Amino acid sequence: MTYIIALDGPSGSGKSTIAEKLAEKLGIEYLNTGSMYRAVTKYFLDRGIKEDNIENINKSLEDIKLSLVGGEIFLNGVDVSKELRSDNVTKNVSWVSANKNVRENLVHLQREIAKNTSFILDGRDIGTVVFPNAKYKFYLTASPRVRAMRRFEQNESNLSLDELEKAIIARDEYDSTRKISPLRKADDAILIDNSEMNIQETIDAIISKVDE
């Protein structure tokens, strides 16, 4: 029997690191759905496609082929994983992920990818929309300051700690108030605030719930 673990939560809650390690430990596959939204964002940015360019967005969606290869997202056959965390992609991914057609395409693809295999997926709407019947659902969060600090320590951004915190608060607000699939905890998801927990402690907390 295959099963799904949905791991949702805001940016910087440690979802992707934790999901990757959990997948390894449990011997299941891992899909980082944020990377899929980022890959589509990169495609638009590379072509100068803007938020209000609806026709172009819809037409591009037919040309974008995303695939999961060795745990990484490939965009039209190319490994773009190293280019997805830039400030420019991060700044633009919110409007891309608020687009209805983008979401429909990616949600469909996520369901296809995880159809016949046990998967842990991390994202914002996995437990609410993509796999509402997932066997296990977790909602990870931490204070904005702690999340900004984690991003700061990853050294992927040119922003200061204060700027990162502001950007995180703004993105939380945008993601949780958008009309389509806003970021929110599924009613039946287990909430874990890991502000004062490290990666291993968070993993242990999740595994103890799965074992129960």
Could you list the residues that contact ligand DC (CB under 6 A)?
11, 33-34, 37-38, 93-94, 97, 123-125, 171, 175
Element (H, E) at 20: helix 15-26
Task: Compute the least distance from the CB of residue 78 to ligand DC, in Å.
Answer: 19
Q: What are phi and psi of 119, to 5 degrees?
A: -140, 145
Min CB(115)–ligand DC separation in Å? 17
Measured from the CB of residue 11, what is the shortest distance to ligand DC in angstroms? 4
Pick the closer one to ligand DC by CB: 86 or 118. Answer: 86
User: With respect to ligand DC, which residue has the nearer C-beta, 128 or 203?
Assistant: 128
Tokens of 23: 């997948």
Q: Taking CA 106 as the corner, what is the angle to CA 103 and CA 107, rounded to the nearest 5 degrees?
A: 80
- Residue 110: count of CB within 10 angstroms of its CB: 23
Closest C-alpha to 180, from 66, 91, 104, 89: 104
CA distance 168 to 170: 5
The token pair at 2 is 């295959």
Question: CA 177 to CA 5: how far, in whole Å?
Answer: 25
For ligand DC, the closer of residues 12 and 27 by Cβ is 12
Lateral strand order in the sheet of 4-8: 29-32, 119-123, 4-8, 136-141, 190-193
Separation CA 101–CA 124 (nearest Å): 17
Nearer to ligand DC, 89 or 203 (CB): 89
